[in-house]
Amino acid sequence: MLVCPQCQFENPDTHNFCQRCGTSLTDRVCPACEASVAFDAEYCPQCGAKTGITWQVILSGVTDASSVQAFVTSQMPDSEPGVQPLPSRFLDEQQRYLLLELTATGVDSELEGRVLDCQPLQPSLLEVVQDPEQTHPEWFTADVATTLEKATIADALAVPAIAQVYLTLQPRNVSLPQIHDAWESNGYTVVLLADRADLPLLLDLWSSETVLPLQILHWLHEMIEMWAMLVPHRCSQSLLELANLRVDEDQLLCLQRLYFEPQDQPAELKNLGRLWQILFQKSQRTQFGALAHLCHDLETGAILTIDDLRLRFEAIANEMQSPTIPIDMPSDSSQPQQFPTLDSESTNSPEPETADLVNANLLLDTESDNTPTSAMATRLELSESEDELGNDGDDAPTVVLPMRLVSLEDAGRTDIGRQRDHNEDSFSIQTDISKSEDPQGRTLNAKGLYILCDGMGGHAGGEVASALAVETLQRYFETHWHDRLPDSEIIREAVVQANQAIYDMNQQSSRSGSGRMGTTVVLVLVQDTEAAIAHVGDSRLYRFSRRQGLEQITVDHEVGQREIQRGVEPTIAYARPDAYQLTQALGPRDQNFINPDVQFVELNEDLLLLLCSDGLTDNDLLETHWRTHLEPLLSSQVSLEQGVNQLVDLANHYNGHDNITAIAIRIRVRPNLDGLKS
């Protein structure tokens, strides 16, 4: 099949244009000169701009250059050995991946280089693993989807073990490169990764005078978290190769690839301390005393666990926040240099042989004056509302730097479904965004109000109730939401007023019993990096992030959940015939029977918020298909509108018995370094 690059529609291999949107499936438009360029061309023939898709290739099991030539030749049995130079050979028998270069990596039996993807619209093996339902239908069924995990599917499709490590780690951390394809052939292992060779090296930026001290502190924090992620998979060596450390366009640390340690030579935490020392030495930047102590204790083995390292690092961040501790000081200051005290251990003087190193690395930066700063917020603790969501403090994200909003995107759609003759769902999206740019990047100031209601009451009932609830909530927040998020009482009052508006209409129309109209509601208010959530009924809010995965934030107001909260076993609670009957809804009864749930959360990592009616959430649809339909939406390169359309299509395919409504909110945040500008 050919997957359209514009709308993601799957077309037969023989088609030259997309059946859905008409986009060409044989060539692309050059972004520089708008000339038509074949997909198998690396550069535009008219202006020379790069147009082709290249991947980094890692070739394992190689003993020498001649064995590489033998490998390439073995992939093309009709060719005579040595007829063409290596770069003109294809890496695979389908003649999709054209070798551009191969060089030694310094790792035994391994070469790496680049390949040109000559068939970029074809799904790769790893894309089959990501979405086997679509690309391997001959054996993948709905029953299989509920029982097989990605790793199991990878085993079934003979994905190499090294590729499975990438598949396991990628959902948890954006720092890893996308793995595109992998296979084994004739004793060789081939892995294709996103080509990050054009990203700047961490060391080069570390040396730049324009990089602020807190940005460096954030990179160190990222290394700590990445180390904890990589150690269980024996690939923490990936952090110890300077040439492997890159920085993306959002100033986040990322890896060019994974390096695996020998079984008998595991990496030790002190190696990370040595790396930090090297970064400061090579960049000629200096550290303030507490950080110098930390590097020294790491390198000498005084810090043995990642938890101890985290605690020490957060203590340093606290010191940097203190107005008595200067972050920046001229390196030639004649004043005595004192080490800030962390704890009883750090009050000890360093060993004589390391004293010169510590004194040389006393400060974090040498470019600013002696002005103290307290702009650093060292940790954003989880709010009480997040604790109520079930987030364990040990697993919840710890943010060493305050965060700023850099991107807020949203999309919504409602659909009648396949069995209903009218749509009782209503939704609303209202945003107010202002943007500012500075040398540290883009910052947004944003307010977003997102409302989803699922009505009940039949013709001229459910749709009226849901629309009235949306309208009432909009009007309320126009006058009650100003420069900061409303508090919980204001939000509850908004929901109560929406209930009253529907209740009054029921009373005026003398509706009774099942004829009384009503609606569920789930709403989200976003202000910069904070959000408030309220809901009544069984419409839901989900949160998805790479670190936390998929989480259901709201708890349905229905009989089954009520029984569970009373201590009844879930299987027994949902064996009741009325288990899915709502215990709360807007409209049927007065305000004495309405108790909306209200929560507040910090938006301290890139995430996706998804408001859903039960036409989308029934039968654990999102829990089953999150890898294929939610995880890709975290990428800013993926159309959010298209993603919502695909979610609705998915619900129509597997459910379709009810109206379907979805609102997706994509939020991207980055460290806020504004407080440290000179």
Tens of pLDDT, residue by residue over 13-23, are 888 888 877 88
Are the CB atoms for 644 and 664 separated by under 8 Å? Answer: yes
Q: How far apart, in whole angstroms, are the C-alpha atoms of residue 19 and residue 7? A: 10
pLDDT tens for 620-657 read 999 988 888 998 898 887 889 999 999 999 999 988 88
Q: Report the range out of 127-136, 195-204, 370-379 with the highest average pLDDT.
A: 195-204
Cβ-contact 615, 456 below 8 angstroms: no
Residues 6+ apart with CB under 8 A from 389: 551, 553, 599, 601
Environment class of 639 (CB within 10 Å of its CB; exposed 0-12, middle 13-18, buried 19+): middle
Task: Determine the angle formed by the axes of helices 488-508 and 462-480, rounding to 10 degrees.
Answer: 140
Better-scored residue on pLDDT, 294 or 158: 294
DSSP string, 403-453: EEEEEEEEEEEEE-TTT-SS--EEEEEEEEEEEEEETTEEEEEEEEEEEEE
- Cβ count within 10 A of residue 280: 21
List pLDDT tens digits, range 59-115: 888 665 555 555 555 544 444 444 334 444 788 888 899 988 888 777 777 888 999
Residue with tokens 């324009």: 210
Number of neighbours of residue 507 by Cβ within 10 angstroms: 11
Check: CB of residue 228 under 8 Å from CB of residue 222.
no
Residue holding tokens 């602020």? 212
Q: Superfamily assignment of 398-552+584-671 in CATH? A: PPM-type phosphatase domain (3.60.40.10)
Domain ranges of the chain: 1-46, 53-194, 206-360, 398-552+584-671
Residue 574 burial (CB count, 10 A)? 16
pLDDT value for 443: 72
- Rounded to the nearest 10 degrees, how much is the dihedral formed by the CA atoms of 547, 551, 554, 555? -140
**Which pLDDT does position 665 carry in this prediction?**
97
Q: How far apart are CA 263 and CA 234, in angstroms?
A: 8
Other Cβ atoms within 10 Å of 72 Cβ, number: 21
166 in Cβ contact with 192 (< 8 Å): no
Average pLDDT, the chain: 78
pLDDT at 293: 85
* Buried/exposed 176-189: b ≥16 CB within 10 Å, e otherwise: bbebbbbbbeeebb
- Adjacent-strand bridge partners of 526: 448, 531
Confidence of residue 172 (pLDDT cuts 50, 70, 90): low
Per-residue model confidence (pLDDT) at position 378? 31
As a whole-number percent, the residues of the chain with pLDDT over 90 amount to 37
Query: Distance between CA 249 and CA 116 in Å, rounded?
Result: 23
pLDDT band at 289 (very low <50, low <70, confident <90, very high): confident
pLDDT in tens, 204-220: 998 888 787 778 888 89
**What string of H, E and C letters represents the secondary structure of 375-406?**
CCCCCCCCCHHHHHCCCCCCCCCCCCCCEEEE
Check whether 532 has a pLDDT greater than 60: yes
The yes-or-no verdict on residue 160 having pLDDT over 60 is yes
Which of the four pLDDT bands, split at 50, 70 and 90, describes residue 559?
very high
Are 573 and 490 spatial neighbours (Cβ–Cβ below 8 Å)?
A: no
- pLDDT for 451-463, tens place per residue? 999 999 865 689 9
pLDDT at residue 427 in the model: 97
